[in-house]
Structure 1
Amino acid sequence: MSDAYVNYEIENGVATIEFYHPKGNSFPTFQLEKLIKTIDELGQNKEAKVIVLKSAGEKVFCAGASFDELLVIEDFETGKKFFSGFANLILAMRNCPKFIIGCVEGKVVGGGVGIVAACDYALAMDNASIRLSELSIGIGPFVIEPAISRKIGVNAFSELTLNPKEWVSAEWCKDNGFYNKVFKTEEELKAATQEFSEQLSKYSPEAMQNLKSIFWENAANWDEIMPQRAAMSGKLVLSDFTKETLNKFKSK
């Protein structure tokens, strides 16, 4: 595989979205927009009763936002737009009337952590360790924080964000409510995801939609918070500290 994509298929009431990017399943803006559009469309598709979100490959579930795009940001508006990408994705996942089930295989970094946090339920392999690396380059996981803190609480979020160079294990994630279940093999993960999503697809769509609205009822103000958080990052990415740090990455 060499070309980035976002594809989906619907079978037995389950819509499975798969994304891929050759650079660690990272997300350039165009691919984030494609994923947002896909989630919006499936949310209105009567054939899809529940959505499974997964990535291709085994080692990295998602490396976050595109580092190539981050490196060339030179003004505030471009920076704010860049960091709004994951904000818009998380809002689309919140607004989707269908349950979104994360099927997580491989490491999860930065914005990818926000994606998993925005899933309504997450099953993972034991190789799905996570890391929030933003502070190490002079910014912070501001945009994705509401989704993560909603899932695991502020204390666990601070443990992640204040240790940006440390990976935490899938078991830590399960103990803190980030993952619902963890499996040792890919076969077990796939089987469990299929069984769980197909069982959900048999339940009342109206009941599930009402349940989801309850799950997310404390996120009603995110439409205001997310743009503010994107602006924070858009400003900080232009700071001398961040520019110097990013230039070090360029020269490697």
Structure 2
Amino acid sequence: MIHEIQEGYVKIDHDHGITSLEFYHPQSNALPGKLLHELAQEIHIAGLDPKTKVIILRSAGDRAFCAGAAFEELESIQTESEGTKFFSGFAEVINAMRKCPKFIIGRIQGKCVGGGVGLAAAVDYCIAWEKVEIRLSELALGIGPFVIGPAVERKIGISAFSQLAIDATLWRNADWAKKKGLFAEVHESIENMDHSINRLALSLAHSNPDAMKEMKKSFWKGTEHWDELLHEKAAISGKLVLGDYTKEAIARFRKARETQKTKAPA
């Protein structure tokens, strides 16, 4: 089943108790608001489906796992309420993952930026390819990783999170991410990564769902206030995105990306 959204899609596959949720957007799997909402809805539905024992979260293609917020949508924001609504989409997805009673395995096959790092942090078990790099680029855009911050900090600690957030232009490799706890496993090839994901998913699909549900509650203990917290963080980003610095920074990023496209070989 495929739900098409704003040039992208969320694709849902079911197989022997394993539900795979794949998202795609032509801009390096960026996340516009409608795609965020659809992804949150499908995570919620899979969590309620008694036939689903475990969920795999993945993105399409082999170059980027997720480029974070969609630049075109960021540029179109005109009011604080519009900004809060957009950034609340990331809160919606993270909270859906947090409250989902099924374990979510993350498949990270390419570069992971901003909100993509938030998704990787919010899954319950993250498996990556060794060539993956991560970056929190929000400060370079004049905002900050406010909405995804609690999820990233919870997974890797305040020190590592602050390093990512402060040096917003530096890429960290998969080994760094594994040492800090973001990735549970890092594999030398895509084939080995997928083999490990499939092995774990099949194992969990045959495990006691009640036991896994209680384990997940325990793992996420102390985050019960995130419904309110993440939306408060979204309001901060929604205000900052309207500033002149941020508008100019986003425009520069877009122009740089367009220049790279024109220089790319045919």
Whether TM-score is above 0.5 comes out as yes
Runs of 4+ with deviation above 2 angstroms: 246-252
Tell me which residue corresponds to 1:135: 139
Q: Is it true that 1:115 corresponds to 2:119 in the alignment?
A: yes
AA matched with 1:109: V
Deviations 1:184-224 (A, max 9, x none): 11110111100011101111100000000000011111112
**Whole-angstrom distance in 1 between the partners of 2:247 and 2:30:** 21
**Whole-angstrom distance in 2 between the partners of 1:145 and 1:48:** 29
Tell me which residue corresponds to 2:13: 9
**Whole-angstrom distance in 2 between the partners of 1:46 and 1:88:** 22
Give the match's secondary structure for 1:139. Answer: coil
Tell me which residue corresponds to 1:43: 47
Tell me which residue corresponds to 1:72: 76
Deviation at 1:251, TM superposition (A): 4.5
Deviation at 1:246, TM superposition (A): 2.4
What is the TM-score with the length of structure 2 in the denominator? 0.92
* 1:161 maps to which of 165, 169, 175: 165
Q: Is it true that 1:193 corresponds to 2:169 in the alignment?
A: no
Deviations 1:96-126 (A, max 9, x none): 0000000110000000000010000000001
AA matched with 1:249: F
Q: How does 1:195-210 map to 2 (within 5 A)?
A: 195-210=199-214
Please, which moves more after superposition, 7-16 or 205-214?
Answer: 7-16
What is the TM-score with the length of structure 1 in the denominator? 0.97
**Whole-angstrom distance in 1 between the partners of 2:58 and 2:248:** 34
Deviations 1:131-174 (A, max 9, x none): 00000111000000000000000000001011100000000000
State the identity as a percent: 46
**Whole-angstrom distance in 2 between the partners of 1:81 and 1:200:** 35
Deviations 1:49-99 (A, max 9, x none): 000011111110000111110011111100111111101100000010000
Give the match's secondary structure for 1:220. Answer: coil
Tell me which residue corresponds to 1:238: 242
Deviation at 1:248, TM superposition (A): 2.7
AA matched with 1:47: K
Tell me which residue corresponds to 2:264: none
Give the match's secondary structure for 2:19. Answer: strand
**Whole-angstrom distance in 1 between the partners of 2:255 and 2:194:** 40
CA contact (8 A) 2:71 2:254 kept: no
AA matched with 1:200: L
Tell me which residue corresponds to 2:130: 126
AA matched with 1:175: K
Deviation at 1:238, TM superposition (A): 1.1
* 1:171 maps to which of 152, 169, 175: 175
